[in-house]
Amino acid sequence: MELQEEWWKSSLAKEIHSSLLQKELKLPKFSGSSPQLMSRRCLVDWLAVICDRYRVCRTARHLAVALLDYFMDRFVIVEEKLKLVGLGCLLVAAKFEEQEVKIPKASELNRYITPPGYTMATYLKMELVLLDAFDWKINLPTAAHFVEYFLIGCVDSDDLNSGQPIAETDTKNYLEKYTEYFLEISLQDYFYRDYKPSLVCAACIASSRICLPVSPPWNDSLHKVTQYTWQDLQPLIQVMLRTHTMDKNPSQGNVSPLSAMSLSSSSPVTPPTPITPMNQVPLINQIPNTAVPGQVTPNYNNYGTQLTWMMYV
């Protein structure tokens, strides 16, 4: 997003926040129809390990997953190339968000994939395919881009913990850690792509306040800074807290957010839809070039050569 460090503390914070809100309205439409969605969770978890290893910043890792989701949503990718696409998204995101010294070196990323890995030229070519697919417009706002600004109002002097006054500094530190946890939860399922990143971020903070617990769960400062009411957040909060409960009690099973919205703790888990075999999925040059309002749609004729390389080399 090319923002200065700690922009949320600067005099331009409100203007930058306003710009982020405008950009999230222009995000591509996410259909959730990719045949690779069954592999998405493992791929995102794998990228998280790499991000932790290289200490990639929060905004870069969230942008990498956003690029991955939107790219997978528009193009068919054979299973063998999914990790290459994921690493390409990570490299593009890191180069956009990170300090140069912290950008993972492509040559070192081969240790995370089956030997012999890929050449530098292959990684660069993958990055170009991604940049072309997004028309070089990769400044996509994510929940991570809003969190520091929203956390400014995460604790009020009137807030209570179990009915007792709270220590603002300690409570804010715990809230920040819990919010980071819920932000990670939001990366694990494509369900959250149906919501504005700013709303997802606000729900992460509200869920954190409930878990600590801090009352009221949503204070006036947060309402003012996020522009969301408690009613706006409730559907997402229910899903996040349900996921949190399952993390604490793994015996309840791994239920997706889509199921968590409607299932009680005693309800049966609906089996996932089987993935469509790759030999039944049309090749990229057979996908209709149908424009969707508000979605960045590439010219498939121009991308034919690049995407053929991506799928078969």
Q: What is the DSSP string of the chain?
A: --PPTTGGGSTTHHHHHHHHHHHHTTPPP-----TTHHHHHHHHHHHHHHHHHHT--HHHHHHHHHHHHHHHHHS---GGGHHHHHHHHHHHHHHHHS-GGGSPPHHHHGGGSSTT---HHHHHHHHHHHHHHTTT------HHHHHHHHHTTS--TT-EETTEE--HHHHHHHHHHHHHHHHHHHHS-GGGGGS-HHHHHHHHHHHHHHHTT-BSSS-HHHHHHH---HHHHHHHHHHHHHHHHHHH-GGG----HHHHTT--TTSPPPPPPPPPPGGGSPPGGGS-----TTS----HHHHHHHHHHHHH-
| Domains (range + CATH), the chain | 35-133 (1.10.472.10), 143-260 (1.10.472)
Q: What is the pTM of this model?
A: 0.78
What string of pLDDT tens digits covers the 313 residues of the chain? 444 455 556 667 888 889 999 999 999 999 998 988 999 999 999 999 999 999 999 999 999 999 999 999 999 898 889 999 999 999 999 999 998 888 998 889 999 988 888 999 999 999 999 999 999 999 999 999 999 999 987 888 788 877 778 776 678 888 999 999 999 999 999 999 999 999 999 999 999 999 988 999 999 989 999 999 999 999 999 999 999 999 887 765 555 554 444 433 323 322 223 323 323 333 233 333 333 333 333 333 333 333 433 432 3
